[in-house]
Amino acid sequence: MYDGAAIAITKPVFLTITLTLPKRKKMSDNKKHPGYLITVLSNKCPRCREGHLYTYSNPYKLSTITKMNERCPICGQPTEIEVGFYYGTSYVSYFLAVVFCAASFIAWWLIVGFSFEDNRFFWWLGVNGVALIAIQPLLMRLSRTLWLSWFVKFDPHWKEHDIQKESIERIVPEQMGNW
């Protein structure tokens, strides 16, 4: 009689422990975060990979191309982590432009081809030049996003951690955007 009662009590407890614990763990592990490439290409915060870095989504509004949120709207990560932080990005956008030219050269070569007997090479020069100007705002944003992503690490559990110390200790609020 007592045996039956003991089983009836212990069994559900045992079951709930074994069933709920692995399930909970799995749920937090399964929370999908976008990959590095997608984060960078969509100009999102490198720390949480969710917040938008730029205040205005349209990169072709010339006055606000590089206008960034001071902090990530989702996790609070500052976007300008030291004075003149984005100074080096001109090298990055230069590099991206070179990569773009090389890719368009190869694509033109495969699709259109080059010849000494006509102007196909000069057509490529023209088309490539126009395309390069057209994507300039995108490259400017991408180079800043890339730059920040090399200094701020992805933290899938950012809610439980403080912002990386080394990514905020050199901030001088009076000097922000002042270079």
> Which residues here bind Zn ion, judged by CB under 5 A?
45, 47-48, 51, 72, 74-75, 77
Shortest distance (Å) from residue 126 CB to Zn ion: 41
Shortest distance (Å) from residue 25 CB to Zn ion: 24
* Residue with Cβ nearer Zn ion (73 or 137): 73
Shortest distance (Å) from residue 53 CB to Zn ion: 8
Shortest distance (Å) from residue 130 CB to Zn ion: 35
Three-state helix/strand/coil letters over the chain: CHHHHHHHHHHHHHHHHHHHHHHHHHHHHHCCCCCHHHHHHCCECCCCCCCECECCCCCCCHHHCCCECCECCCCCCECCCCCCHHHHHHHHHHHHHHHHHHHHHHHHHHHCCCCCCCCHHHHHHHHHHHHHHHCHHHHHHHHHHHHHHHHCCCCCCHHHCCCCHHHCCCCCHHHCCCC
* Residue with Cβ nearer Zn ion (48 or 92): 48
* Residue with Cβ nearer Zn ion (51 or 59): 51
* Residue with Cβ nearer Zn ion (45 or 68): 45
